[in-house]
Structure 1
Amino acid sequence: MVWRILLFYVGAMGVILAIFPWNEIEATGSPFVQIFSHVGIPSAANLLNFVVLTAALSAYNSALYSNGRILYGLSVQGNAPKFFGRLNSSGAPINAILFSTVFTLFTVVISYLDPEKVFLYFMALATISIIINWATILIVQLKFRKHKDKTGEPIVFKMPLHPISSYISLLFLVVVVVIMAFIPDLRFSLYIAPIWLLSLYIGFKLKTSAKKN
């Protein structure tokens, strides 16, 4: 996985920045398509557009399936409304999938209202979501390791350079958040994140209090 990320993500970005100025890359389309158009190969750009659209549809299908299954699993666990636990005759969580599909309409509306910045808006939301997820993973890992060290339980796979690597990763996430705060088109996600976390906390408290009662 590490080598794949270095090759297909970091490597691809390195190639792009080596042949195209970073401050000229637009946020309205794929940078790969822009590069082919810039070097005078429009046919390759059109072909790549087809590949990008196919990949986007595939990613959407995968995300829709995953989100539906997650809502279904949460419903079965009692952490989401029972409405999401309904299956159709094929065994698919139909209500969870339809609920997830409705949110796709918001992207259509935003694309219509502000087509030039819609990509940045959703990239900001995706970025802050990833930051929250990875920050949670790192914090849990630190607490997990502290508990293991205290109890003396053996650890099969140890985090390299623990705990320095975890703190460096957390610092990197903080730097990304600070950078986002200075970019107007990304800054709004920093306002949404606390509201989202607060709503999750309130939901958790309501659920635990209901169990006690």
Structure 2
Amino acid sequence: MSEQRLLALKAPRRPGFENFIAGPNQALVDTLAQGLEHGAWYFLAGPAGSGRTHLLNAVFADRHRRGETVGFMALSVRANRALLDEASADWVLVDDIDTLAGDEDGERALFNALNRWRSEHVGVLLSGAGREAFELPDLRSRLGQATRLTLKPLEEADLAALVERLSSEHEVVLGRGAADYLLKRTARNPAAIARLIESLAQRALSERRTLSVPLIREVIR
């Protein structure tokens, strides 16, 4: 079997609470893992790449393990927006709601869905950069009724821990000085780091190399 085939069979990373580097966000993560109230609304706020999608996936898996019905829709995928008209479950998780901001039909669809979920006592977890860009006043008001959970940026030590965790999960050896070198040359958010580590790990595994400074230099050049 070819090396490429072996890599393709490697299980993808499964986002969970246990492999999320919380840093200054531990209280927020604890709320998502243990403190969500049935029928309540929550708004997970943070910039793109801050870990919002990871946490929504963690909540999805956790609620599913509890035997609850859960719906998940990523509104960054335009085709998923039609799900707003029909989704219903014990919990509905809606990622990237700010991609609807400024879209009259999209904003109205989200507003109508929120009204329906309120009447059905559905628990709702939304994520986005914020609600300020929405133009529909009634929608901004509805979003303001959700408990806001704001992700704070990870600190230097947390980012280094993330590099080490991702390297371990991809089963590659992290070379001396590689974490510091990488962090100085990539966007300092979890999503960008995760994408780069995945690319580096594939290269390292295919060439049977350590995830080292020379390898990072080759890949990002």
Normalising by structure 2, report the TM-score: 0.25
Q: Which has the higher contact order (CA 8 A, sep 6+)?
A: 2
Bigger Rg over Cα: 1
More helix by share: 1
More strand by share: 2
Normalising by structure 1, report the TM-score: 0.26
